[in-house]
Amino acid sequence: MPARNSARTLEDTVSAIPPGVIDQIVLVDNASKDDTVTIAERLGLTVVRHPVDRGFGGSIKTCFRTALEAGADYIVELHPDNQYDPGFVPSLLHKAQSGPYAMVIGSRFLPPKRALEGGMPRWKFVCNRILTFFNNALLGVRLSEFHSGLRVYNATWVRRIPLETFSNDFDLGFQLIGQAVEDGWTIGEVPATCRYFDEASSNPLRGSIVYGLGTLAESWRVFLFRMGLGAARKGTS
Residue 201 is predicted with a pLDDT of 56
Flag whether 119 is in a domain.
yes
Residue 196 is predicted with a pLDDT of 86
Residue 65 is predicted with a pLDDT of 98
CATH number at residue 32: 3.90.550.10
Number of residues that make up the chain: 237
Flag whether 197 is in a domain.
yes
Flag whether 234 is in a domain.
no
Flag whether 232 is in a domain.
no
Residue 236 is predicted with a pLDDT of 39
Flag whether 235 is in a domain.
no
Flag whether 196 is in a domain.
yes
Residue 204 is predicted with a pLDDT of 64
Residue 237 is predicted with a pLDDT of 38
CA distance 183 to 180: 5
Mean pLDDT per block of 10 residues along the chain (237 residues) reads 97 97 97 98 98 96 98 97 96 97 97 90 92 97 96 98 95 97 97 82 72 96 96 65
Residue 100 is predicted with a pLDDT of 95
Flag whether 110 is in a domain.
yes
How many domains in the chain?
Answer: 1
Residue 202 is predicted with a pLDDT of 58
Residue 224 is predicted with a pLDDT of 97
Flag whether 213 is in a domain.
yes
Q: Record the pTM.
A: 0.93
| Structural domain range at position 50 | 2-226
Residue 33 is predicted with a pLDDT of 97
Residue 91 is predicted with a pLDDT of 98
In terms of C-beta distances under 8 Å and separation of at least 24 residues, what long-range contacts does 207-214 make, across chains too?
207/170, 208/124, 208/127, 211/147, 211/170, 211/171, 211/174, 212/127, 212/131, 214/167, 214/170, 214/171, 214/174
Residue 203 is predicted with a pLDDT of 61
Residue 184 is predicted with a pLDDT of 96
Residue 199 is predicted with a pLDDT of 60
Task: Write the CB contacts of 70 (distance below 8 Å, at least 6 apart in sequence).
Answer: 24, 26, 46
